[in-house]
A and B are shown apart, each in its own frame.
Chain A
Amino acid sequence: MQLWQLWQSGYLTELFIKVIIFPGLVHISLVVLLAVWFERKVNARIHLRVGPYHVGPVMGFFQPIADFVKLIGKELIVPEKAHKLLYKTAPISALALSTLSFAFIPFGVIGSEMSLPFIPFHLSPGEYWVVYYSNISLLIVILLFSVRPFIIIAAGWACRSKYCTVGALRTAFQLLAYEVPLLVAIVGVVMVAGSFDLVAIIESQSSIWHGVFQPLGLAVFFVAMMAEVSRRPFDLPHAEQELVYGWATEYPGVLYGCFMMAEYVDLYLGAVLMTALFLGGWLGPAFLPPIAWFLLKAGIIVCIVTLLRGVFPRVRIDQLLDAGWTYLIPLALIQVLIILGLAHVAPGLLGLA
């Protein structure tokens, strides 16, 4: 009875806890709830008004849940000429893809023994909070990140409507163009760490964080990440003012809710990647457990990105592509050359050899 053996060894419980609770679906949903609430409150503070106030115990905390419940209750009107299969599966697949990337990212080191009463479950120190450990985890995450544009194009094309088509084309330009600076910014990190394993990358930052000696790489990654996730000032894909809602115009109710949730999950994914690659992951002084350091750093990045929504206007598509190709790629390449030079001249500085 293989299932009984799996249960006895504690594997099923461990899988359940890691996939559903942490770092899985419940944790991502809570973070999305927090991110939406925080964005609305911070933007309201900048606008000199009070954001959500009435729903929930503390200053409208349950407002995003109320909005989601409202969206579920709406009638789904499918356009007549739409491609039915693509139309109905695109939102779910976008959300699933974004959430899948979290399966490969380690969130912390287990410090002491963990076990539960009555249920076979055992975690020993030295293991990592990751759903599936692989030694090319960064490559897998990047691969999944690169499939996103195609789902969005498919979602825009499935509606057969003018607004959606033009929006999907603009999105395609933007997302595919900013993949390159993103990847080149990561090259420096991978060179210093020596592997594509996210655990090894974080462990290699034990002497000094990567972001300290690679400020250009950090800045390029930040800007490219904001453009990939389509946050203000780069949120042309759903530029309401021009194309009603861009590629997601025709999606009613819960399908639109899935797209919106996928956007915030992507934002959290970008923040987590930035923490792991440049800001030392879970490393920090010992008065907080490693998981807390990881979540704190990722949370600070999410806060900064939501704050920038109220500060800058939106850029135009041709200016966006010009900036990406003229400024970001050369800066990232210069960063790689600097790292190569430093590695030859002063390897001890970077924590190598």
Chain B
Amino acid sequence: MPVMRVKFGPQHPISGHLCLALDVDGDVVVNIEPDIGYTHRGLEKIAENRNYVQAVPPLERANIVDSVHMVLGYVEAVEELMGVEVPERAKFIRVIMAEMSRIASHLYWLCLMAVAVGLETMLMWPINDRELLLDLFEMYTGARITHSFFIPGGVRRDLPQGFKEQTFRALSYLEQRLGDYDRMLYQSYTFKIRTQGVGKLKPQEAIKLGLVGPSIRGSGVKVDVRKDEPYAAYDQLEFTVPTGKVGDSYDRSVVRLREMEQSISLIRQALERLPSGPIKAPAPSSAPKGETYSRVESARGELGYYLVGDGTTRPYRLKISSPSFRNLPAMGYLSKNVPFADIPVILWSLDLWPLDMDR
């Protein structure tokens, strides 16, 4: 049979808003060409036309499933540029919100991974459990996903009454549910034969490709910004960074499950040790001339913000280095001569989120 060009187009049930052009020979994919840019909104230019507080709502829509980390990186860069010291209570609150956002993002990833493998049950359960976290967010900030809650200098409001008890109840329920997911999906025979041995990535290849996040941790390389360059109270909390052994899709999925467990323990520690004090420090409205680079560990990997200030209330240049864009070459590398049914599995084990890629 001649080689056919099939488009996993932007309107496809499994690809998100990402377009992949596949060259298919029978059942084997010979070559793959990604075609991104369908959701490009020009967020970096938008940030140039807003001042440092106004830029927070547009920027968090870059990756809306994991919205806290997008804002956290930006706010850290601005504070470093302005030279503002954030109070301790605000740092702990930022850790709590960031870890809750990480769990929410991984639960959303779990839904999509299960759909890629063909199990609808594991689409419904994690999305329902994510509702608990969204209810907690709504109790605290007022919005479920689009919080826009950090401003340069701290957080906007303090924790309400009863937040701690409600959070502990939700966390103990989530721990039990993670055990259910483990038994239902990760120890299921069909899931194992679908993902084990698929998309194997050796550590040297992963480093050479420049991957970040759970995709590279699945291959055994221990790279995590929270340990290498701690920010926002992570140096005062204890946690481990899970890594995989073999580097196939199964290991990458297991790494994300273990990260969820670590996040639960981090939130518990932060809530126990929450210091009292102010939640905001005064920050000037204009930034001095200079440039900074700040990194955070979002759910998909390392997110970098490069900010150039020029003495006015608006930045001169903001560049976002997103993890999904950095992980995209792995998709092309891993998809040479694989069966057709492996393409969604590889795509979602790398967790490429098109909104994050295009900004």
Residues of A within 8 A of B (CB): 43, 46-49, 162-163, 166, 169-170, 232-233, 235-236, 239-242, 244, 310-319
Contacts and interface: CB of A to CB of B under 8 A. Distances in A.
Contact of A315 (B13, B190, B344): B190
Interface string B120-155: 110111001000000000000000000000000000
Contacts of A236: 341
A232 B114 CA distance: 14
B237 interface: no
A244 B193 contact: no
B190 A233 contact: yes
Across the A-B interface, give the 8 residue pairs with the lowest CB-CB distance, nearest first: A314-B118, A47-B124, A313-B117, A313-B119, A241-B14, A313-B190, A310-B121, A316-B341
A317 B27 contact: yes
B116 interface: yes
A312 B189 CA distance: 8
Given A242-B14, A315-B194, A232 B121 contact: no
A239 B120 contact: no
Interface residues of B, number: 33
Nearest to A43: B120
A317 B340 CA distance: 9
A240 B120 CA distance: 12
Interface of B: 4, 6, 12-14, 24, 26-27, 114-121, 123-125, 128, 185, 188-191, 193-194, 339-344
Q: Identify which of A240, A310, A316 gathers the most chain B CB atoms within 10 Å of its CB.
A: A316
Given A239-B118, A312-B119, A166 B341 contact: no
A63 B26 CA distance: 39
Given A242-B341, A315-B194, A316-B194, A233 B118 contact: yes
Nearest to B7: A162
A319 B193 contact: yes
Given A47-B125, A163-B6, 12 more contacts: A43-B121, A48-B128, A162-B6, A242-B341, A242-B343, A242-B344, A244-B12, A313-B118, A315-B190, A315-B194, A316-B194, A318-B27
Contacts of A318: 27, 339
A46 to B, nearest CB: 6
Nearest to A323: B193
A166 B178 CA distance: 37
A43 B119 CA distance: 11
A280 to B, nearest CB: 31
A166 B124 contact: no
Contacts of A317: 27, 339, 341
Contacts of A241: 13-14, 115-116, 118, 344
B4 A162 contact: yes
Contacts of B340: 166, 242
B118 A232 contact: yes
Nearest to A310: B121
B115 A315 contact: no
Contact of B193 (A43, A162, A311, A315): A315
23 contacts: A43-B120, A43-B121, A47-B124, A48-B124, A162-B6, A166-B6, A166-B24, A169-B26, A233-B118, A239-B118, A241-B13, A241-B115, A241-B344, A242-B340, A310-B119, A311-B121, A312-B119, A312-B190, A313-B185, A313-B191, A315-B190, A316-B193, A316-B339
Contacts of A315: 190, 193-194
A310 B185 CA distance: 12
Q: Which of B114, B118, B343 has the most CB of A within 10 A?
A: B118
A312 B188 contact: yes
Nearest to A165: B4
Contacts of B190: 233, 312-315
Contact of B121 (A47, A163, A244, A314): A47
Contacts of B339: 316-318
Contacts of A46: 121
B120 A47 contact: yes
Nearest to A173: B27
Contact of B342 (A47, A240, A316): A316
Contacts of A311: 121
Nearest to B184: A311
A49 B124 contact: yes
Nearest to A315: B190
Nearest to B122: A313
Contacts of B341: 236, 239, 242, 316-317
A60 to B, nearest CB: 18
A43 B27 CA distance: 31
A313 to B, nearest CB: 4
A169 B118 CA distance: 20
A239 B342 CA distance: 13
A169 B1 CA distance: 12
A198 to B, nearest CB: 34
A260 to B, nearest CB: 17
Contact of B188 (A239, A242, A244, A313): A313
Contacts of A47: 120-121, 123-125
Given A170-B27, A316-B194, A240 B13 contact: yes
Contacts of B119: 310, 312-314
A146 to B, nearest CB: 24
B257 to A, nearest CB: 16
Contacts of A162: 4, 6
A313 B194 contact: yes
B299 to A, nearest CB: 22
A244 B13 contact: yes
A176 to B, nearest CB: 16
Contacts of B116: 241
B192 to A, nearest CB: 10
Nearest to B191: A313
Contacts of B189: 312
A46 B124 CA distance: 9
A342 to B, nearest CB: 31
Contacts of B123: 47
B6 to A, nearest CB: 6
A332 B125 CA distance: 38
A48 B125 contact: yes
B195 to A, nearest CB: 9
B120 to A, nearest CB: 7
